[in-house]
């Protein structure tokens, strides 16, 4: 297994410095260390309850220069996670008949055994009768209990109890949460700036829209055919003020800041991960990984290994190609289903506008745009959650069909399938609103109008105040709604599942006096499986996409992400310590394919935020008007400058305006910043 234990060893570094310089440096370091300890005293772990992790520096503090192992006691030489890993390796390598078939996993696959899992150590909710505090109890008290939400994570104890893979996940999650503090503070300040300057000169366009006796009294063409009638510009007052909260001069600064932050986050994590890999001795862990039992079972051909000269299962290139074509076609089909759902949401939005203006009450008509936007976002969220459930089951079957050789290859293949689908599932509606909505619109009477109509998409136009407010509402509902739903399910579903299994087992037990053994109690807990961390990583990666890709439209996204992650760490810890079977300890080199996905999202976020500022936001058109077209170098008159005119005498009967509404005047189509939008 190539497990290594740390050793004590002295490394001498010679530095030329005067005695006074050394004293000054030592005093300064001691002073700032004391200041830092006082500031962070509340979040530090209680060293009287939990011991810190042994380090090389601490091991050599006594000045013993001999090379020797830090741990000499045979009983404590290996952690409980390492012991469970060793036992599992023995079970994997043990033959179970006279043939070449070996390993417990094959017996699990053919249902010879129901489960194979390490046991929890004692109970979490009360101390052991002997008075010994087991690691599970300590993890609950110092990590999983809700009252510890502001404390640092005891990663050394997590690694000792659950193994390297789970400890590395919580290390990454904690680092990501700490890094979210900076964009959360800056984004909140940008939002507060928008609130404070809502009535300032920078918001002159919104004031003009809200002025019922001035520019706001301009008559607008109907939003739809048949049912809709003429409107006034001041009816978009609410959306214009909402838009300014997220589309003000600080938005550009925040978008640039987030681009730098995302890149910095990746580089700092890469550095921290390298330190963790060295300290935890995780180098070249995956190079010695064995074949999956499923791969050996389903492989139809064998070949001679050129290195070991042993016979091994093999899958031909032609067989792999056929399997990839089948799985790729299934993934593309599901992507088309997602795009169809987005198109259905667009048609719903267009149809609802016609229904409301055709027969709705005064209150509903007055808030038709807001009502349509919110309900469309909620429907989109429901469709997203349903499609996610369906596709996750399909992705497992597709990955099994590909039959990857190792478990790492299996996880990577499954990861890319799920993320590619989820990217389209969660972000397609946001991409449409940000970059495509309103681009299909033609003015009434335009010769191109008849040729460009595509499934009535030309009627799906932005509010006169712009598309950014709708993008903000859509993003907020999907992001916050998804987080609340996931947290709700993570807390209640395991409790209900465990209660139901325990109830069924108790009802089937004939001897009511029988006391359940520890393995029976653990067996009725939720099985995390070998993909236990997949959903946790996926949830955080999708959140990272919300935080970075469209953050220019919703500066409060990092704040909501930070609050969610503070709860997420404790919820995941609570679930693993109290509600789930103890997962098998595993060793990994890094966070796997997720780092590559993080890089893709980061690079895409830079382009996405630039496009939001350029195409969706009104910042650039306002600046152009202010410094090029305005005589006073202000935004006074910007609204009228951005409008185009249409003579209502050219309005046709079939377009839907009633005779008493036809007025011989110029009705203006509000196009803030760009006439062709």
What is the secondary structure of 603-632 as a DSSP string?
Answer: HHHHHHHHHIIIIISSHHHHHHIIIII-SS
Give the residue ranges of the chain where pLDDT is below 50. 10-19, 56-57, 59-60, 63-66, 445, 447-457, 657-677
Q: Are 522 and 455 found together in one domain?
A: yes
Answer whether residue 42 is part of any domain.
yes
CA separation for the pair 15, 397 (Å, rounded) = 61
Residues 420 and 439 in one domain: yes
Domain carrying residue 57? 7-75
pLDDT at 671: 40
Q: Do both 339 and 356 map to the same domain?
A: yes
Question: Are 549 and 431 part of one and the same domain?
Answer: yes
Same domain, yes or no: 630 and 614? no
What are the Cα distances from residue 546, in Å, to 186, 194, 346, 589?
16, 21, 21, 27
Q: CA 163 to CA 26: how far, in whole Å?
A: 37
pLDDT at site 424? 82
**In whole angstroms, what is the distance from residue 432 CA to residue 430 CA?**
5
Same domain, 384 and 486: yes
Q: Is there a single domain that holds both residue 533 and residue 633?
A: no
Residues 485 and 452 in one domain: yes
CA–CA separation, 435 and 611 (whole Å):
8
- 404 domain residue, yes or no: yes
Number of domains in the chain: 3
Helices (H) and strands (E) counted in the chain, each on its own, are 24, 8
- Which of 620, 640, 659 is a domain's end point? 620
Quick one: pLDDT at residue 261?
A: 93
Q: Spell 242-251 as b/e; 16+ CB within 10 A means b.
A: bbbbbbbebb
Instruction: State how far the Cα of 483 lies from the Cα of 543, in Å rounded to an integer.
Output: 8
Burial state string for 626-636 with b = 16 or more CB within 10 A and e = fewer than 16: beeebeeeebb
The single-letter DSSP state of residue 463 is: B
Same domain? 346 vs 424? yes
Last residue of a domain, one of 620, 637, 659: 620
* Domain closes at, from 18, 41, 75: 75
CA distance 621 to 613: 10
115 in a structural domain: no
Instruction: Report yes or no on 674 lying in a domain.
Output: no
Examine the domain organization and report whether 555 and 665 are in the same domain: no
In a domain, 140, yes or no: no
Q: Is residue 52 part of a domain?
A: yes
Within a domain: 610: yes
Q: Give backbone dihedrals phi and psi of 70, rounded to 5 degrees, phi first.
A: -65, -45
Q: Which two tokens stand for residue 198?
A: 């809502």
191 burial via Cβ count (<10 Å: 0-12, 13-18, 19+): buried
Distance CA 249, CA 202 (A): 8
The verdict on 254 and 222 lying in the same domain is no
CB-facing half-sphere around the CA of 520: CA atoms within 13 A = 10
Give the model's pLDDT for residue 66: 43
Examine residue 131 and state whether it is found in any structural domain, yes or no.
no
Copy the structure tokens of residue 470.
């709708």
Whether 558 and 664 map to the same domain: the answer is no
């Amino acid at each position: 297994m190539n497990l290594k234990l740390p050793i004590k060893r002295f490394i001498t570094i010679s530095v030329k410095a005067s005695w006074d310089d050394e004293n000054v440096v030592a005093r300064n370091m001691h002073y700032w260390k004391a200041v830092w300890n006082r500031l962070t005293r509340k979040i530090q772990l209680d060293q009287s309850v939990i011991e810190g992790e042994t380090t090389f520096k601490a091991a050599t503090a006594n000045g013993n220069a001999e090379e020797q192992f830090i741990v000499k006691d045979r009983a404590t030489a290996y952690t409980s996670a390492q012991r469970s890993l060793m036992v599992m390796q023995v079970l994997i390598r043990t033959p179970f008949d006279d043939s070449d078939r070996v390993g417990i996993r094959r017996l699990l696959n053919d249902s010879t055994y129901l489960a194979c899992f390490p046991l929890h150590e004692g109970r979490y909710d009360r101390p052991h009768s002997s008075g010994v505090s087991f690691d599970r109890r300590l993890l609950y008290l110092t990590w999983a209990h809700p009252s510890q939400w502001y404390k640092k994570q005891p990663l050394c104890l997590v690694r000792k109890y659950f193994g390297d893979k789970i400890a590395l996940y919580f290390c990454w999650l904690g680092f990501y949460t700490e890094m979210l503090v900076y964009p959360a503070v800056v984004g909140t300040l940008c939002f507060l700036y928008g609130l404070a300057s809502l009535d300032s000169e920078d918001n002159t366009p919104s004031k003009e829209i809200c002025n019922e006796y001035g520019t706001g009294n301009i008559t607008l063409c109907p939003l739809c055919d048949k049912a809709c009638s003429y409107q006034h510009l001041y009816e978009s007052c609410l959306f214009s003020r909402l838009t300014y909260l997220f589309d003000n001069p600080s938005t550009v600064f925040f978008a640039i800041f987030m681009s730098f932050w995302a890149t910095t986050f990746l580089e700092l994590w890469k550095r921290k991960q390298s330190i963790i890999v060295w300290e935890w001795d995780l180098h070249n862990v995956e190079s010695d990984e064995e074949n999956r039992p499923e791969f050996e079972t389903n492989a139809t051909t064998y070949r001679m290994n050129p290195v070991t000269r042993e016979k091994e299962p093999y899958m031909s290139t032609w067989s792999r190609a056929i399997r990839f074509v089948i799985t790729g076609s299934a993934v593309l089909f599901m992507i088309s289903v997602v795009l169809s759902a987005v198109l259905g949401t667009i048609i719903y939005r267009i149809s609802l506008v016609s229904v409301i203006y055709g027969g709705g009450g005064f209150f509903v008509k007055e808030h038709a745009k807001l009502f349509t936007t919110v309900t469309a976002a909620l429907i989109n969220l429901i469709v997203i959650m349903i499609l996610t459930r369906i596709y996750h089951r399909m992705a497992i079957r597709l990955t099994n069909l590909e039959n990857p050789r190792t478990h790492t290859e299996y996880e990577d293949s499954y990861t890319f399938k799920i993320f590619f689908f989820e990217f389209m599932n969660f972000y397609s509606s946001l991409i449409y609103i940000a970059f495509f909505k309103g681009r299909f619109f033609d003015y009434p009477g335009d010769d191109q109008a008849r040729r460009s109509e595509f499934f009535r998409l030309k009627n799906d136009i932005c509010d006169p105040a712009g598309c950014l407010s709708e993008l903000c509402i859509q993003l907020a509902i999907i992001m916050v709604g998804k987080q609340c739903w996931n947290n709700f399910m993570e807390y209640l579903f395991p409790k209900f599942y465990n209660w139901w299994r325990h109830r069924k087992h108790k009802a089937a037990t004939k001897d009511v006096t029988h006391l359940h053994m520890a393995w029976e109690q653990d067996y009725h807990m939720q099985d995390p499986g070998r993909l236990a961390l997949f959903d946790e990583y996926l949830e955080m990666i999708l959140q990272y996409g919300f935080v970075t890709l469209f953050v220019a439209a919703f500066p409060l996204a990092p704040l909501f992400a930070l609050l969610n992650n503070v709860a997420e760490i404790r919820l995941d810890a609570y679930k693993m310590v109290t509600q789930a079977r103890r997962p098998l300890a595993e060793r990994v080199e890094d966070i796997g394919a997720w780092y590559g996905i993080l890089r893709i999202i980061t690079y895409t976020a830079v382009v996405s935020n630039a496009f939001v500022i350029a195409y969706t936001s009104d910042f650039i058109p306002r600046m152009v008007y202010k410094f090029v077209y305005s005589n006073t170098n202000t935004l006074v008159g910007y609204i009228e400058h951005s409008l185009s005119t249409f003579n209502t005498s050219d309005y046709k009967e079939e377009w839907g305006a009633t005779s008493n509404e036809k007025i011989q005047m110029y009705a203006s189509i509000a196009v803030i910043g760009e006439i062709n939008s």
